Every structure is written in C-alpha cells, then in structure tokens.
Amino acid sequence: MPSKIISSALKEKRTVLTEIESKQLVAEAGIPVIESKLATSKAEAVATAKKLGFPVALKVVSPEIVHKSDSGGVKLGLSNAAQVGRAYSDIMAAAKKAAPKARVQGVSVQKMAKPGVEVIMGMSKDAQFGPVLMFGLGGVFVEVLKDVAFRIVPLVRRDASQMVREIKGFPVLEGYRGQEPADIETLESLLLKVSDFVEKHPDIKEMDLNPIFAYEDGAIAVDARIILES
C-alpha cells in the first residue's frame, strides 16, 4: 500500500518529492530526521522560526528545484527574525532567477542541528540487481573521494556492519584524533531501517539522506531527497 504522500505525488504526475514530503515519509519509517515546517510567506517563516527556536535554516521548497544550494535556495545559521525575513526574500528572488518556471511553494524552516560526523545513506536502482544501498562519509568525502560502500537490498545486520567498516574513512567514525566518535550501532540500525523502507516502497527510484549527523549517542538526518519511479 503506497503512502498518501507517494499516491498524491503520482496523481499530480510528480516524481520528485519536496524535502518536507521526503522527511515525513522517512520519519514514518522510524528514521530520525530534523523536522521541517513549510512557510508560505515571510511573516510565516519568521513566526515558525521563533516557534522552533534559533538558529534556523531556510530552504526553498519546489518540486522543480532539486539542487537547492546551487540555486541560492539555502540559508543556514539564521539567528534572529530580521535575518530570517531577509533570507526569505533572498531565497525567493534566487529561485525566480534560477528557475523562472518552477512552482515555488515557499520555504522549509528547520532548526540547525548540532554538528556531528557527516555520513550519507542512499539508494539507487540497478537494472540487474534492483535497489542498491550506499553508505559513506558525507560532504567532501563522498563528492571528491567517492569513499562509499554498496549492498543489495534487503540487508541483514552483518551487511550493515560490514558496510560501515568497509569505507576507508572508518577511523573518522571511531573518533580520529580526539574527535567525537559516532554511534556505530545506531548507524547500522539506520541502514537496516532504510533497507526495510526501500523494500516496502517499490515506487521509490532513488533516495538520499545527506547529511546525517552522527553523534556519540545517536544520529539524525538533516536533509532527505526522494525520487519516485515515473
């Protein structure tokens, strides 16, 4: 049974879920995510930020704008109402310039997460093997070093354990040079939850949780991106 979020997107002939929709879906699967609230006006963005508590991040919400930061659609570390108001206007102007025809629903407002070790989890479909799960360190590690591990869905605990330990950057997760170590067991459990989620939703073509901040006692996904089969 596809979720309401997936059903309504497909009804609208949309394959790209917004960040807010993606996060809701992921949260339903028991994966911890930073909550994002939609604000459709500058006043609403300010009011939501005050309610959530500063500092906050604002991101453009549009099914047509996938790479939000490339198009000037992300503002981080906003610490008061004036900054939020300015950021809202800047994001709207940038979105119009980058994608004049895009339907912009507003912005997502979310609390800034406490920084941790950045990791990424994702899924893409292979023509031969079906859904394949990916794990690696986030940020520059995944973009530049391509330091990632892959497994075919469904995963068992041993797969998850091997994936985490297979990457060259594993010492970073163990607390390299006095850095805070990551909660390895939580990361393994998250990989199993993502595997389970992907199995239950064959409509999903690809997904990314990037970054996930891993802490000594848990982890939380800061951003989620889901693309559906057309």
For 11-53, how does the pLDDT look when each residue is reduced to its tens digit (9 = 90+)?
Answer: 999 999 999 999 999 999 999 999 899 999 999 999 999 999 9
pTM above 0.85, yes or no: yes
Alpha-carbon distance 134 to 149, whole Å?
6
Q: How confident is the model at residue 125 (pLDDT cuts 50, 70, 90)?
A: very high
What is the per-residue pLDDT for 91? 96
47-100: per-residue pLDDT in tens? 999 999 999 999 999 988 877 888 889 999 999 999 999 999 999 999 999 889
Spatial distance between the Cα atoms of 173 and 212, rounded to a whole number of angstroms: 13
Say which residue, 220 or 1, is predicted with more confidence.
Answer: 220
Tell me which DSSP letter residue 207 carries: E
Helix and strand numbers, DSSP H then E, in the chain: 8, 10
What average pLDDT does the structure give for the chain? 93
Domains, the chain, in order of start with CATH, read 36-111 (3.30.1490.20), 117-228 (3.30.470.20)
Q: In the chain, which ranges are continuous DSSP H helix?
A: 4-11, 19-28, 42-52, 81-98, 140, 157-166, 170-173, 184-200
The string over 36-67, giving b where at least 16 C-beta atoms fall within 10 Å of a residue's C-beta and e elsewhere, is: bbbbeebebbbbbbeebeeebbbbbbbbebee
Closest residue by Cα to residue 199 from 150, 161, 156? 156
Neighbours of 121 (CB within 10 A): 27
Q: Please, which pLDDT band fits residue 1 given cuts at 50, 70 and 90?
A: low
Mean pLDDT of 206-225: 95
